[in-house]
């Protein structure tokens, strides 16, 4: 088992590696490298799955024998999830809506009556990564 101080030192090395990797630095927001008793976890928002996968690969290569997992949230996944939820809900399904995400912030484009706007907000905020714990709202 790896000692807590070794995990913290390794996490610092991962932070430095990610900070010096231009694609991650330019396509990520509100990111964090956190530690638990036996692993390192990546958190935050990224533009694409390719960036998330590259960041995870870089972190794992830097971490050596310390386990690294990713909890990075990807914009296109957020867009798909929001679109599917809005289309599946009978209160918003009838309205033509376009969903955009940029570094974790979701924007819904379309015309909605006031009641449907509140419903759409509730639906989107129910998506993991868009809850009330976020510093930035998802709409």
- Do 20 and 58 form a contact (C-beta atoms < 8 A)? no
Q: What is the pTM of this model?
A: 0.82
DSSP-assigned letters across all residues of 38-76: SEEEEEEEES-HHHHHHHHHHHHHHHTTSEEEEEEEEHH
Q: Is 48 exposed, middle or buried (0-12, 13-18, 19+ CB in 10 A)?
A: middle
Dump pLDDT digits (tens) for 17-47: 999 999 998 888 888 999 988 899 999 999 9
């Amino acid at each position: 088992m790896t000692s807590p101080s070794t995990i913290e030192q390794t996490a610092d090395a991962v932070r430095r590696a990610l900070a010096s990797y231009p694609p991650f630095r330019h396509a990520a927001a509100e990111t964090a490298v956190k530690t638990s008793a036996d692993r390192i976890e990546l958190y935050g928002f990224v533009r694409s799955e390719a960036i998330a996968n590259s960041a995870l690969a870089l972190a794992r290569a830097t971490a050596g024998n310390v386990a690294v997992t990713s909890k990075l949230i990807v914009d296109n996944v957020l867009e798909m999830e929001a679109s599917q939820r809005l289309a599946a809900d009978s209160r918003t399904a009838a309205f033509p809506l376009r969903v955009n995400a940029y570094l974790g912030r979701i924007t819904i484009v379309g015309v909605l009556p006031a009641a449907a706007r509140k419903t759409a907000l509730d639906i989107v905020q129910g998506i993991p990564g868009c809850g009330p714990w976020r510093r930035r709202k998802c709409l």
